[in-house]
Amino acid sequence: MSTANFIDMCAVCKQGVPKETMTYQKGRVFHIQCFESQGSTFPVIDSELAQMSARTRIELVQMKNLKVRSDAEEITKKVTKPKKKTAKKSKSKPKKTSKPKKSKAKKSKKKTKRR
């Protein structure tokens, strides 16, 4: 059986629900058989409470990320020590440049005029 058909998970049996055998009741997805047998035990989802719960989870994750980042910054500050300033070193002697080689003088050719 291919998993491409599965839309969501059944609230009762926690298995994938194919589109053909699903029913959406009380803000949840059920197999038709599962809803008939145990669907009445599930209360209707309070949308306000669900939104508040989602926002709270997001804020919790953001706070954890912030704590991890601040802890990492503290660790890097402890590990990396500030560099000590050292006295200036004296300048090294300039490198000797080789003298340019003299090129041999070319013999000049006499130009003749053409008439």
**Alpha-helical segments (H) within 1-115:** 32-38, 47-79
60-107 confidence digits (pLDDT tens): 999 999 999 999 998 888 877 666 666 666 666 666 666 666 666 666
- Residue 56 pLDDT exceeds 50: yes
Residue 71, both tokens: 């802890």
Residue 22, both tokens: 């699903």
pLDDT classification of 17: cutoffs 50, 70, 90: confident
Query: Higher-confidence residue: 51 or 13?
Result: 51
Residue 47, both tokens: 């949308």
The model carries a pTM of 0.40
pLDDT classification of 45: cutoffs 50, 70, 90: confident
Task: Give the strand pairing for 16-18 and 6-9.
Answer: antiparallel
Cα dist from 31 to 40, 87, 99, 103, whole Å: 13, 79, 93, 97
Nearest by Cα to 31 from 40, 20, 41? 20
